[in-house]
Amino acid sequence: MDVLFTGGRLFGTDASFLLVRGEHIVALGGDEVKDRAAPGAETVDLRGRLLLPGFQDAHVHAVLGGLELGLCDLSGTTDAGEYLRRIRNYADTHPEAGWITGGGWSMESFAGGVPGKALLDGIAGGRPVFLMNRDHHAGWVNSRALELAGITAGTPDPADGRIDRDADGEPVGCLQEGAMALVAGLVPDSTPGDRLAGLLRAQELLHSLGVTAWQDAMLCGANGYPDHSDAYLAAAADGSLLSRVEGALWWNRDRGAEQIETLLGQRDTFSVGNLRSRSVKFMLDGVAENFTAAMTAPYRDRCGHPTGNSGLSFIDPAALAEYVTAVDALGFQAHFHALGDRAVREALDAVAAARKANGMRDTRPHLAHLQVVHPDDVRRFAALGATANIQAYWATHEPQMDELTIPFLEPSLAGWQYPFGDLARAGARLAAGSDWPVTTADPLLGVHTAVNRAHPDSGEPPFLAGQALGILPALTAYTQGSAFVNHRDDSGELRPGHRADLVVLDRDLLAGPAEAIAEARVDLTYVGGSLVYSSRDA
């Protein structure tokens, strides 16, 4: 059936009508488009609302997020007492669970960002506990979990992580980065049915937020991270994966170039139906809050003095350049987790090496997170054809930034955070993602923060206001920009021939004040011309 949209703003066009036939947009324009609609066509009266190409998330962990919604969910609060209430309730209502697992706690809830095992020991009924924090770079464990893992004062820190300890060297119950693997490897894996249910739960949520396609940033996980790739394979094969997904295959930092043959096989295996897996995910560093993001200057201590720690480079930079050059030559996209400015530079150096060796291939490398970018590297994005994949919701004053990050960064680094404006002015292509379940999957909250550099109703001043984006480039990042890095060239814009992946908001964002962007809601979401979400008020 034909579907005709009219009566509102059609994003990026001057058209009055948009006509969908089957899975594609077939026409935009004036009354002549209306005349092309088949008899019996459905007409969607926008009533002054905004029609956009569907949002695309360029960096999300959909299965992980969907699974966590069904586990011990600590998200949505920073109250440590509320965490304990939820954990106790989960333990009481899941007596069959051998482990208490889940996550979503925030570092700001605990002194120094580090929770302790003693808080958990009395509420889990003697069962081991493993709860990841909201950014998934640290795990909170109890004494039983430490005991099962054999972690004691004599256990050395792994090269890619840290066991938090008290003054006597005893583990306190928090494991940073690669140290999580010491316990995570003991946690019973979810079942294939659990993982498929998690993916479908995530897809339903993403559709309700107007997200019609995404790049999952961790297929075939390793280094202590779970492998959820079978859920995508199952959903793609049986048709329940309605959205098109680009899978980023995990680069195991404990291995070298010998894994490229495995990646080639995974690319074939995990490319079926609506799933394609043409990206390789290189996780280069950690996060600033636990001092593992790779910086060009040392972190400061609590007195403001430089320490001997500049963060971790999980992959040797020289080796990284060789790996990226090799996978680029095979047609893979390089997808980097690069948070500190040294990690950003190492990623760009690797892309430069690949460009020099292979030429400017259409492999569309992109760097995600970009918390700190050295000014000398800002112009390199456009020159190298590397996309800046922003997680805009993080660019704001909040306790994790103001209490656990800024005081410990060298002052110039603190002023180079989330430089969206500088990147855009330098000609960099911007894409956008949520990193959900690290933070909200809602693109409208990301757009709001990109434009206002503050969360709605936070009462805080804008965070580095000169780096704000206008609403048009922010929306473009979440649509056309992400479609580009997802290799979905037939989406991201309202154009004839493009797929009818569409979202209708409850208002015209372009006509309202920037401060009210976060008040907008999704009314309708279409994937390939089919309605997959409708609000009660649509």
Cα distances (angstroms) measured from residue 12 to each of 52, 480, 510 = 8, 11, 11
Q: Is the dihedral of CA 33, 52, 212, 478 positive or negative?
A: positive
Structure tokens at 525: 């979401």
Reading phi first (left if > 0) and then psi (alpha if -120 to 50, else beta), residue 459 is in left
Give the separation between CA 371 and CA 466, rounded to whole angstroms.
Answer: 15
Question: Bridge partners of 102?
Answer: 72, 131
Q: Is the dihedral of CA 181, 186, 187, 190 positive or negative?
A: positive
Q: Which residue is associated with the tokens 């060297």? A: 169
Structure tokens at 163: 């066991």
Strands 100-105, 129-133: pairing is parallel
Give pLDDT tens digits along the chain (538 positions): 899 999 999 999 999 999 999 999 999 999 999 999 999 999 999 999 999 999 999 999 999 999 988 899 898 888 999 999 999 999 999 999 899 999 889 888 998 889 999 999 989 889 999 998 888 889 999 999 999 999 999 999 998 889 999 999 999 999 998 899 999 889 988 899 999 999 999 999 999 999 999 999 999 998 888 899 999 999 999 999 999 999 999 999 999 999 999 999 999 999 999 999 999 999 999 999 989 999 999 999 999 999 999 999 999 999 999 999 999 999 999 999 999 999 999 999 999 999 999 999 999 999 999 999 999 999 999 999 999 999 999 999 998 999 999 999 999 999 999 999 999 999 999 999 999 998 999 999 999 999 999 999 889 999 999 999 999 999 999 999 999 999 999 999 999 999 999 999 999 999 999 999 999 999 999 999 999 999 988 8
pLDDT recorded at residue 206: 98
pTM as predicted: 0.90
173, 133 Cβ separation under 8 angstroms: no
